[in-house]
Amino acid sequence: MASKGEVFKSKITVYVLACWLLAAFGGLMFGYDIGISGGVTGMDDFLIKFFPKVHERKLHAAENNYCKYDDQMLQLFTSSLYLAALVSSFGASKACSILGRKPTIFLASAFFIAGAAFSAAAEQKWVLILGRILFGIGVGFGNEAVPLFLTEIAPAQHRGAVNILFQLFVTIGILVANLVNYGTSNMHPNGWRVSLGLAAIPAFVLLIGSLIITETPSSLVERGKETQGKVALKKIRGVDNVDAEFQQIILACEQAKKVQKPFKKLFKRESTPPLIIAISLQVFQQFTGINAIMFYAPVLFQTLGFKSDASLLSAVITGLVNVGSTFVSIFAVDKAGRRKLLLQACVQMLISQLAIGWILHVHLKETGSLDRTLAAIVVILVCTFVMSFAWSWGPLGWLIPSETFPMETRTAGFAFAVSSNMIFTFIIAQAFLSMLCHLQAYIFFFFSAWILVMGIFVVFLLPETKGVPIDSMVETVWKQHPVWKKFFTDEAPKSYEMA
Ligand code: BGC
């Protein structure tokens, strides 16, 4: 294989920059949806129309702070999207290989636009849920194709930063959604329709973008279109001589083609380490509790005794912190390394969650609310939590699974990362409000325990991949790791319980 970390010549042309930014709108679509649901489910007009019982309970909130939003159907509104995304991400991985990345991105935006239309126009609950499912298919297609697209068209030396562009746009999407909700919360009675319908805007930009962007050279070569592949490579590298890199793509594709069934190969012994890492990072990412905050920030802040407006404003503040801190990651990831960022974040997230849990446990009873100072402290703690997530588990949960698989299992392995993200996002979205009702402040201790586990996992099991060329991961990383190297020795026992 040609690649041993060789750096090929390239310029960052206006066209390639446009390709990165247009594709990253897929992240914005995903983020917008993460951010919009919480605000919408806190709006009275929306609740009266679709969830009158929840609204009734909210009016009598004084009866129980922690349980006013606990309703399975209401949670299904938020979480059905992720179920649809989970199922569709496998279809999306097929679409990516058969049709290419570009048409898959086009399909993602088309589904999303349809989702926005149905959701905004909904008069019945089933239409609302149908809208969510269409949104979900859009997210499944987008999240599979966009990071793959960005990785494939990025020059190797900028791959980390370009990949994190996706996460940056996710955070921008969440922020924009919070701002939109802030604006529409006083727009009666159809503010919620505006919030849901505006999702069509980033999707529309992505739709137009998908017509402008190039297909990736790898995808073209993979589908036998070698001449077009070379033209595309010249265009995105901005130089005429791309022979060496093109040769590498041809070799990598030939190598990958030898593996007829990448999903089968994924369950072979030597694929276990990257597969465990990819799935665990996504599962842990969700068990930080980030989406309990992202989806339900306005609802959570209302639980803490903030008024509707103030709670949306607090969600805007956390959204801003989320975007700003993602930049830290873009600059630090290739200098400090992945492990340091993840471990530092574990400490900061743990302290924040424990402190929030303690304040709520001591000061927020089932009735009544927090006093202003304590409520402000909780908002600050939520910010320190979100900040550390944003420069670590957020972007690295996507980056590491995309860089640790060898070429032949990369797309199949990444599909597992995407679907693990979706299933655990679904679980958190579906369970959080009930957990809040039953565990009350202890929910923050629940997440703290997970943060401890994931810190230990990083210390012992996560290898450092900073600066390692993507095609020499097996030799340089996996075969050198004290635990994972056992999966590569020929004489290792067939059943591999680790001592
Ligand atoms: C996660 C999302 C989360 C977002 C927050 C992403 O990396 O996958 O679940 O809501 O970060 O910024």
Using H for helix, E for strand and C for coil, what is the string for 394-447? Answer: HHHHHHHHHHCCCHHHHHHHHHHHHHHHHHHHHHHHHHHHHHHHHHCCHHHHHH
Can you tell me which atom of ligand 1 is nearest the CA of 395? Answer: 7
Look at the alpha carbons of 212, 100, 89, 473 in this order and tell me if their dihedral is positive or negative: negative
Question: 291 alpha carbon to ligand 1 midpoint, in Å?
Answer: 7
Nearest in space to 109 (alpha carbons), one of 177, 200, 203: 203
Residue 311 CA to residue 294 CA, distance in Å, equals 13
Q: Inter-axis angle of helices 200-212 and 14-41, to 10 degrees?
A: 160
Q: Structure pTM?
A: 0.88
Residue 96 CA to residue 90 CA, distance in Å, equals 10
For the chain, what is the radius of gyration of the CA atoms? 23
**Do residues 89 and 140 make contact, with C-beta atoms less than 8 angstroms apart?**
yes
Both structure tokens of 35 = 């951010």
DSSP secondary structure code for residue 484 in this structure: G
Both structure tokens of 336 = 């400090």
Identify the helix (H) or strand (E) that includes residue 250.
Answer: helix 243-257
Please report, as a single letter, which amino acid is at residue 155. Answer: P
Q: Give how far the C-alpha of residue 416 lies from the chain's centroid of Cα atoms, to the nearest Å.
A: 13
Nearest in space to 411 (alpha carbons), one of 284, 252, 287: 252
Nearest in space to 253 (alpha carbons), one of 274, 233, 278: 233
Q: Is the CB of 34 under 6 A from ligand 1?
A: yes
Both structure tokens of 415 = 């599909």
Residue 384 CA to residue 389 CA, distance in Å, equals 9
Question: 277 alpha carbon to ligand 1 midpoint, in Å?
Answer: 18
Residue 389 CA to residue 174 CA, distance in Å, equals 14
Please report, as a single letter, which amino acid is at residue 298. Answer: P
Please report, as a single letter, which amino acid is at residue 123. Answer: E
> From its phi and psi, is residue 493 left (phi > 0), alpha (psi between -120 and 50) or beta?
beta
Tokens 């008069």 map to which residue? 123
Question: 476 alpha carbon to ligand 1 midpoint, in Å?
Answer: 30
Question: 46 alpha carbon to ligand 1 midpoint, in Å?
Answer: 25
- Residue 6, pLDDT score: 58
> Closest Cα to atom 12, ligand 1: which residue?
171
Q: Is the CB of 35 under 6 A from ligand 1?
A: no
> Closest Cα to atom 10, ligand 1: which residue?
291
The Cα-based distances of 336 to 250, 331, 332, 401, 453 in angstroms read 33, 9, 5, 18, 22
| Residue segments in the chain with a per-residue pLDDT below the cut of 70 | 1-7, 61-65, 68-69, 368, 470-471, 490-499
Question: 427 alpha carbon to ligand 1 midpoint, in Å?
Answer: 14
Q: Is the CB of 93 under 6 A from ligand 1?
A: no
